[in-house]
Amino acid sequence: MTILLTFTVLALIAIALWQITKIFELSQPKKNNNQVADDDDNRWNGQLMFAFLIFIYAITLFSFWKWGDVLLPDASSDHGVEYDNLLWISFAIIFFTQTITQALLHYFAYKYRGEKGKKALFYADNDRLEAIWTIIPVIALAGLILYGLYTWTDIMTVEENEDALVVELYAQQFNWKARYAGEDGVLGDANVRFLQDFDGKNLVGIDATDPNGFDDIVVQELHLPAGREVIFKMRSQDVLHSAYMPHFRAQMNCVPGMITEFAFIPTITTEKIRQNEDIKAKVKKINAIRRENSQALIAKGEEPLEPYVFDYLLLCNKICGASHYNMQMKIVVETQEEFEKWIMDQQTFAEVIQ
């Protein structure tokens, strides 16, 4: 019944639209009824072009004013600061170019709107002008490319070293696991073939014949010490996933059959970022929204939403199936002491399979 009703409503809306456009069309004076623009058309469309320029500027400013606070807070990783610099320089160039070119385009469309009897200027070429607007982008881009490549190499060069913490991120439909190397600092060999060993207790497929694996620790919540380099080794057991940690400006795909890498130094602990003014404002806003939504839920006799507390997040950012939208893991950044204390409390692989 609902289906029938919906279709009827849809059909009626379509017919109504059809009729409205027909009436509109019939109400037009006959002379207008072809596609060639006359002076009137040129005038009002030219004016609308100018209005449209203002609209573009307005929607830009409005969006920043209204939604500027949804953007990510300052980076919480060492390289993220460089990243943010490059991002804002690029944005500055983009906004500058956007403002000028849109202005020229729409202003010309308004200013040179056609009039009967007017003749356009025959102006087919100007090598110097074209050279100028080839060279300007060349210079701007050369700068951006060089800066970008320098930062890229810096971020992507992962060197094994004694001080770094090695963590494996393990992806599967639809959750994340993390594996720490334990006291020996070496991750044991692993493969999906071993996943069924030990009645499914071998969560990430550690090879039980590799002695390096016994002190490995597999957890469902990612803890990172602040100020220490973390080298991530990514694996996936089924389809492509992507480990996306937006607050750290970090992302790398997890590919079945290979190990991918990404490294960064987290700089701000969870405790500390919760005191950040931007984050505080954001959490406050989110909780206001959640309170409002809760009232609707309570009215329906359902459980209200829990108040929100900020946490760093690891999200899946490569389409991976039905619950892709909910494949997440909490990240806790803490001091080195807290981290050591936490890891002492976790079970090693040897303890799990006993």
Partner 1 sequence: MSTVAAQVHEEEDHGHHHKETFITKYVFSQDHKMISKQYLITGLFMGIIGIAMSLLFRLQLAWPEQPMGIMSALLGKWAPDGVMDPNVYLALVTIHGTIMVFFVLTAGLSGTFSNLLIPLQIGARDMASGLLNMISYWMFFLSSIIMVISLFVEAGPAAAGWTIYPPLSALPQAQPGSGLGMTLWLVSMAIFIASSLLGSLNYIVTVLNLRTEGMTMSRLPLTIWAFFITAIIGVVSFPVLLSAALLLIMDRSFGTSFFLSDIFIQGEVLHYQGGSPVLYEHLFWFLGHPEVYIVLLPALGITSEIIATNARKPIFGYRAMVASILAIAFLSTIVWGHHMFISGMNPFLGSVFTFTTLLIAIPSAVKAFNYITTLWKGNLQLNPAMLFSIGLVSTFISGGLTGIILGDSTLDINVHDTYFVVAHFHLVMGISALYGLFAGVYHWFPKMFKRMMNKNLGYIHFWVTAVCAYGVFFPMHFIGMAGLPRRYYTNTAFPYFDDLANINVVITVFALIAGAAQLIFLYNFIHSIYYGKPTEQNPWRSTTLEWTAPIKHIHGNWEGKIPEVHRWAYDYSKPGHKEDFVPQHIPLKKGEEELQH
Question: Within 27-66, which residues bind partner 1 (CB under 8 A)?
Answer: 28, 32-37, 41-42, 45-46, 48-49, 52, 55-56, 59-60, 63
| Nearest C-alpha neighbor of 248 from the set 81, 131, 54 | 81
- Tokens 């906004």 label which residue? 95
316 belongs to the binding site for partner 1 (CB under 8 A): yes
Kindly state whether residue 332 participates in binding partner 1, applying the rule CB under 8 A. no
User: What is the β-pairing status of strands 328-334 and 222-225?
Assistant: parallel
Rounded to 5°, the CA angle 73-161-83 comes to: 25
Q: Which residues contact 53 (CB under 8 A, 6 or more apart)?
A: 102, 103, 106, 107, 110
7 near partner 1, rule: CB under 8 A: yes
Q: Please report whether residue 268 would count as binding partner 1 according to CB under 8 A.
A: no
**Min dist. Cβ of residue 147 to partner 1 (A):** 8
Contact between 321 and partner 1 by CB under 8 A: the answer reads yes
How far apart CA 268 and CA 312 sit, in angstroms, is: 10
The answer to whether the beta carbons of residues 223 and 332 sit under 8 Å apart is yes
Cα–Cα distances in angstroms (integers) from residue 161 to residues 38, 57, 168, 263, in the given order? 74, 50, 16, 12
Q: Which is nearer to partner 1, 239 or 352 (CB)?
A: 239
- Between CA 159 and CA 142 the distance in angstroms is 28
The single residue among 318, 331, 339, 349 that binds partner 1, judged by CB under 8 A, is 318
180, two tokens? 């720490």
For position 296 contacting partner 1 by CB under 8 A, the verdict is no
CB of 250 to partner 1, least distance (A): 7
Helix (H, G, I), strand (E, B) or coil at 314: strand
Please, which residue, 182 or 231, has the CB nearer to partner 1?
231
Residue closer to partner 1 (CB basis): 289 or 298: 289
Looking at 50, 74, 78, 102, which residue binds partner 1 (CB under 8 A)? 102
Residue 250 interacting with partner 1 (CB under 8 A): yes
Q: Enumerate residues 125-164 that contact partner 1 by CB under 8 A.
A: 125-126, 129-130, 133-134, 136-138, 141, 144-145, 148-149, 151-153, 155-157
Least distance (Å) from partner 1 to the CB of residue 210? 16
State yes or no: residue 24 binds partner 1 (CB under 8 A): yes
Residue 195's Cβ-side half-sphere holds a number of Cα atoms within 13 Å equal to 10
Q: For partner 1, which residue of 105, 203, 343, 352 counts as binding (CB under 8 A)? A: 105
Q: Which is nearer to partner 1, 119 or 303 (CB)?
A: 119
Strand order through the sheet with 165-172: 217-219, 175-180, 165-172, 230-236, 260-264
Per CB under 8 A, 71 contacts partner 1: yes
Phi, psi of 171 (to 5 degrees): -110, 140
Closest distance between partner 1 and the C-beta of residue 129, in Å? 7
Least spacing, CB of residue 328 vs partner 1, in Å: 7
Residue written as token pair 């016994």 = 214
Q: How far apart are CA 294 and CA 310, in angstroms?
A: 19
Is residue 225 close enough to count as binding partner 1 by CB under 8 A? no
**Nearer to partner 1 among residue 118 and residue 209 (C-beta):** 118
